[in-house]
């Protein structure tokens, strides 16, 4: 398949490389000068999109996506698919999909889960929104770049699924870290707490698979000085998107709002920038009841 790939950073670069390895013809564009083996680089996003059957975008935010879409959509052939794998606000995803469909294109919003490791290994999960025809066109490429693709519904549904998932993840990680910090202050051994909670009603992915306490449970970023598997700044971005969506949909999300406020404090006023999102545990360890 002839593919245009716009946004070849930490995520997009390895995804494009996997498409090349699978035998696809990939033309790329990025605002930074990057070189990926087998990807021919174009001078602009529009040039990368010209003549492509599928154009994939992996961009930092909704405003950039809207700007790129304005240049790319007119350059694409009717019947081609615009597949956005960025994590952006639901409103931007829907606006770009409408613009693409009005121009006779297929549109899919397909944010991913699995991080940089998943992008390199080709084991990402795609949460896709769009028509059945659009999803069918993109599915063979999802199968190359990932291990699972779920068609979540109409345009915007992929972004909705991603931010709802990550709102749960942010809230749960905070609760897990708070509980470990409380256990410490109560003199409860961390391993004993893990042994109980991981097989009781408090179990969760943040406890059982990504434990924020070093030396407890399976290996996680906590065992590597909290170097990011999933950075706290990215969690903050996703929590902000969840609250923007909640505002737009008039949804009451007090826990999501508080998680956003806590991660904002951690990243912007404390030492959370560049740390894993599970580094909330040492943060809570250092604090008493009133800070």
**Residue 271, CA distances (Å) to 226, 233, 275 in order:** 12, 11, 8
Q: Which of 284, 249, 251 is nearest to 266 (CA)?
A: 284
Catalytic residue among 2, 139, 162, 192: 162
Q: Which of 78, 97, 85, 82 is nearest to 12 (CA)?
A: 85
- Three-class secondary structure of residue 112 per DSSP: strand
Q: Where are the beta strands (DSSP E) in the chain?
A: 2-6, 25-29, 40-41, 54-57, 81-84, 106-109, 112-113, 124-130, 146-153
Q: Give me the residues paired with residue 149 across strands.
A: 126
Residues β-bridged to residue 2: 25
Give dist(CA 161, CA 183) in Å, integer. Answer: 33
Query: What is the DSSP pairing of strand 40-41 with strand 54-57?
Result: unpaired
| Contacts of 211 by beta carbon, 8 Å cutoff, 6+ apart | 176, 194, 217, 218, 220, 222, 278
CB 140: neighbour CB atoms within 10 A?
Answer: 13
| 218 backbone dihedrals φ, ψ, rounded to 5° | -65, 160
User: Which residue matches tokens 């593919």?
Assistant: 3
Q: Judge whether 50 counts as a catalytic residue.
A: no
Residues annotated as catalytic (active site), given as ranges: 162
């Amino acid at each position: 398949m002839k593919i245009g790939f716009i946004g070849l950073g930490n995520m997009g670069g390895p995804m494009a490389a996997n498409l090349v390895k699978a035998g696809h013809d990939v033309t790329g564009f990025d605002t930074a000068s990057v070189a990926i083996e087998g990807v021919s680089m174009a001078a602009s996003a529009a040039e990368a999109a010209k003549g492509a059957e599928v154009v994939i975008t992996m961009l930092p935010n909704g405003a950039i996506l809207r700007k790129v879409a304005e240049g790319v959509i007119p350059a694409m052939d009717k019947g081609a698919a615009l597949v956005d794998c960025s994590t952006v606000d639901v409103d931007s995803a829907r606006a770009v999909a409408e613009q693409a469909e009005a121009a006779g294109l297929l549109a899919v919003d397909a944010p991913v889960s699995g991080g940089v490791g998943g992008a390199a290994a080709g084991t990402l999960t795609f949460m896709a929104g769009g028509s059945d025809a659009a999803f069918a066109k993109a599915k063979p490429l999802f199968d190359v770049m990932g291990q699972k693709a779920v068609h979540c519904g109409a345009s915007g549904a992929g972004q909705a699924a991603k931010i709802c998932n990550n709102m749960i993840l942010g809230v749960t990680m905070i609760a897990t870290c708070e509980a470990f910090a409380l256990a410490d202050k109560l003199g409860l051994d961390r391993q004993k707490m893990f042994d109980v909670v991981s097989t009781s009603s408090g179990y969760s992915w943040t406890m059982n698979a990504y434990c924020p306490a070093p030396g407890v449970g399976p290996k996680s970023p906590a065992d590597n000085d909290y170097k990011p598997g999933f950075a706290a700044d990215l969690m903050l971005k996703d929590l902000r998107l969840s609250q923007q969506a909640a505002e737009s949909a008039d949804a009451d999300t007090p826990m999501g709002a508080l998680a956003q406020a806590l991660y904002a404090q951690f990243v912007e006023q404390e030492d959370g920038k560049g740390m894993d999102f599970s580094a909330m545990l040492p943060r809570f360890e250092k604090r008493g009841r009133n800070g």
